[in-house]
């Protein structure tokens, strides 16, 4: 999993800005993990990121991934995803960075709108 942290430090990954606060982005990221049946999640909340992995399947050796949640302001958050294959020459992966963001957007659209 340290390779994912190094990749993020090198500016790799896919980022998108969402109209949601950091708490909401954190919870939605965990929902996306449940959608794709993540095996294990390491939460590093004070540092603003979480690490996860999907294990081997019939078509993949699995992936390791990191999600960074960085506040832009009170209502917007930048979510950055870095996904690395366990086997770098493998063609198929169970989840891509784009698919993570697509699932995040779907979960965000289903989130009930709470008005004060």
CATH code, 99:
3.30.310.220
Rounded to two decimals, the pTM is 0.85
Decide: 66 and 8 in contact? Cβ < 8 Å: yes
Statement: residue 46 has pLDDT above 80: yes
Q: Tokens at residue 91, please?
A: 């063609």
Supply the mean pLDDT for the chain: 85
Name which of 22-26, 46-50, 63-67 the model is least confident about. Answer: 63-67
Statement: residue 65 has pLDDT above 80: yes
| Banded model confidence at residue 89, pLDDT cuts 50, 70, 90 | low
Count of alpha carbons within 13 angstroms of residue 29, beta-carbon side: 31
What is the tally of structural domains in the chain? 1
In a domain, 35, yes or no: yes
| Banded model confidence at residue 88, pLDDT cuts 50, 70, 90 | low
Residue 97 or 95, more confident: 97
Cα 33 to chain centroid, rounded: 8
Domain with 94, as residue range(s), is 2-110
In a domain, 31, yes or no: yes
Statement: residue 101 has pLDDT above 70: yes
H or E element that contains 30 = helix 22-35
């Amino acid at each position: 999993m340290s390779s994912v942290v190094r990749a993020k430090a090198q500016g790799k990954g896919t980022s998108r800005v969402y109209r949601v606060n950091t708490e909401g982005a954190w919870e939605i990221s965990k929902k996306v993990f449940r959608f794709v049946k993540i095996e294990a999640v390491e939460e590093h909340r004070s540092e603003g990121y979480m690490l996860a992995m999907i294990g081997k399947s019939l078509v993949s050796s699995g992936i390791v991934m990191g999600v960074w949640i960085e506040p832009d302001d009170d209502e917007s958050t930048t979510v950055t995803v870095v996904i690395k294959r366990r086997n770098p020459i493998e063609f198929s992966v169970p989840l891509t960075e784009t698919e993570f963001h697509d699932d995040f957007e779907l979960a965000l659209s289903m989130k009930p709108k709470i008005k004060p």
